[in-house]
């Protein structure tokens, strides 16, 4: 009788011991998996959700899973798109990419497109009083300056000269020029983009981060001259002098292949930067709109995406 009770007690003790061990290992497994999930994978949704009407036929299928911790981007909108030599695209990061926002001097990318479509670069233009009245930047042309169209184009893209942009638009008439900008935007499928001037000074110049990706791709494909000018850190313009690029990241990123800065009080800091992505045999297009620290946030974005 005592032996029977002893056996039953031993069996009961073993059951409780087994249950206790199971609970310990079970809790450890839950804790380990929770910890890994914090540093492993961020789910950004399906590719079709992310791209919507953005060249869906060229987007790889499935879902986009990005390794690493998502960077904190305080800008009003941002996007990073990876594109390879096969025409495949993938969104690596996006924040409010459909928000319609002022784009400041990113406008000058479209100004450059219209110049190349309509002007002979060897023609000369002169800065008149209206052009000279535009908001000045650190390196700028002045009243009476006469140079080839190409020189004004260089100064506008690298030094972000508002006076140069306005002088270029006046060659065929400002309103006609702006009309061409908006027609080109329509032709390119930039449905949420509108231009009110050629400089970007007006807060009515608006676009979205998603539209600006399309504009950048079009420039890389059809207007490589714009990209080649925009990535130069500094250069000398005859009859003007040295011009330094307004994008301070170019000195840190030799892999940059296209760049444009923008800033107004309404738009805050804006930046479009395209960099080579050798590991994917392509490039990474990055856009930040409405930032208090566009350069720091762009670095953070590129480091995450690479």
pLDDT in tens, 247-297: 999 999 989 999 999 999 999 999 999 999 877 778 999 999 999 999 999
Q: Kindly indicate the confidence band of residue 59, based on its pLDDT and cuts at 50, 70 and 90.
A: very low
In this structure, what CATH number is given to the domain that contains residue 261?
A: 3.40.710.10
Whole-number Å distance between alpha carbons of 161 and 176: 20
What's the pLDDT score for residue 27? 45
Is 70 exceeded by the pLDDT of residue 82? yes
Is 90 exceeded by the pLDDT of residue 228? yes
What's the pLDDT score for residue 23? 55
Neighbours of 13 (CB within 10 A): 10
Q: Kindly indicate the confidence band of residue 88, based on its pLDDT and cuts at 50, 70 and 90.
A: confident
What's the pLDDT score for residue 236? 94
CA 77, distance to chain mean position in Å, is 9
- If one counts the domains in the chain, the total is 2
What is the chain's mean pLDDT, rounded?
83
Q: Which helix (H) or strand (E) holds 200?
A: none
Is 50 exceeded by the pLDDT of residue 126? yes
Q: Kindly indicate the confidence band of residue 24, based on its pLDDT and cuts at 50, 70 and 90.
A: low
Is 60 exceeded by the pLDDT of residue 44? no
CB-count burial class (<10 Å; 0-12, 13-18, 19+) for 232: middle
> Which of 83-87, 176-180, 302-306 is predicted most confidently?
176-180
> How does DSSP classify residue 278?
G
The percentage of residues in the chain with a pLDDT greater than 70, rounded to a whole number, is: 77
Q: Does 209 share its domain with 298?
A: yes
Q: Does 12 share its domain with 134?
A: no
Is 50 exceeded by the pLDDT of residue 57? no
What's the pLDDT score for residue 9? 56
What's the pLDDT score for residue 14? 55
What's the pLDDT score for residue 259? 98
Q: Does 277 share its domain with 131?
A: yes
For the record, the structure tokens of 257 come out as: 């292949």
What's the pLDDT score for residue 16? 52
Q: Does 139 share its domain with 275?
A: yes
Is 60 exceeded by the pLDDT of residue 28? no
Quick check: is 77 in a domain? Answer: no
Quick check: is 247 in a domain? Answer: yes
Instruction: Average the pLDDT over 93-112 and give the result.
Output: 97
Is 80 exceeded by the pLDDT of residue 85? no
Is 70 exceeded by the pLDDT of residue 36? no
Give whole-number Cα distances, 212 to 100, 103, 107, 273, in Å: 11, 9, 10, 11
What's the pLDDT score for residue 175? 97
Is 80 exceeded by the pLDDT of residue 17? no
> How does DSSP classify residue 262?
E
The percentage of residues in the chain with a pLDDT greater than 90, rounded to a whole number, is: 69
Quick check: is 3 in a domain? Answer: yes
Quick check: is 221 in a domain? Answer: yes
Quick check: is 200 in a domain? Answer: yes
Q: Does 140 share its domain with 27?
A: no
What's the pLDDT score for residue 39? 33
Phi, psi of 84 (to 5 degrees): -110, 180
Is 70 exceeded by the pLDDT of residue 35? no
pLDDT tens sequence across 154-212: 999 999 999 999 999 999 999 999 999 999 999 999 999 999 999 999 999 999 999 99
What's the pLDDT score for residue 32? 47
Q: Does 131 share its domain with 255?
A: yes
Q: Give residue 179's domain range.
A: 101-305
| Residue that wins the pLDDT comparison between 232 and 17 | 232
Quick check: is 52 in a domain? Answer: no
Q: Nearest-CA neighbor of 79 among 261, 257, 248, 270? A: 270
């Amino acid at each position: 009788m005592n032996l029977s009770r002893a056996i039953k007690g031993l069996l009961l003790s073993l059951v409780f011991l087994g249950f206790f061990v199971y609970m310990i290992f079970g809790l450890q497994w839950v804790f380990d998996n929770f910890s890994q999930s914090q540093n492993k994978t961020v789910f950004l949704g399906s590719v079709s959700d992310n791209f919507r009407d953005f060249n869906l036929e060229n987007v790889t299928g499935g879902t986009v899973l990005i390794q690493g911790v998502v960077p904190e981007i305080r800008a009003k909108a941002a996007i990073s798109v990876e594109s390879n030599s096969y025409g495949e695209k993938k969104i690596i990061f996006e924040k409010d990419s459909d928000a319609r926002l002022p784009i400041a001097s990113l406008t000058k990318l479209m100004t450059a497109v219209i110049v190349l479509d309509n002007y002979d670069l060897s023609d000369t233009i002169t800065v008149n009083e209206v052009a000279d009245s535009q908001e000045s930047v650190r390196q700028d042309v002045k009243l009476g300056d006469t140079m080839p169209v190409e020189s004004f184009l260089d100064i506008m893209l690298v030094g972000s000269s508002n006076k140069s942009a306005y002088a270029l638009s006046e060659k065929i008439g400002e309103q006609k020029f702006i009309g061409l900008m908006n027609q080109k935007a329509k032709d390119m499928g930039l449905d949420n983009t509108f231009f009110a001037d050629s400089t970007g000074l007006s807060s009515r110049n608006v676009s979205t981060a998603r539209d600006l990706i399309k504009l950048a791709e079009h420039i890389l494909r059809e207007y490589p001259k714009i990209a080649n000018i925009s990535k130069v850190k500094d250069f000398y313009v005859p009859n003007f002098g040295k011009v330094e690029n307004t994008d301070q990241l170019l000195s840190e990123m030799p892999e940059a292949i296209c760049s444009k800065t923008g800033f107004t009080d309404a738009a805050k800091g804006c930046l479009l930067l395209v960099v080579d992505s050798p590991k994917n045999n392509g490039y990474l297009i990055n856009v930040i709109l409405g930032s208090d620290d566009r350069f720091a946030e762009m670095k953070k974005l590129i480091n995450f995406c690479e």
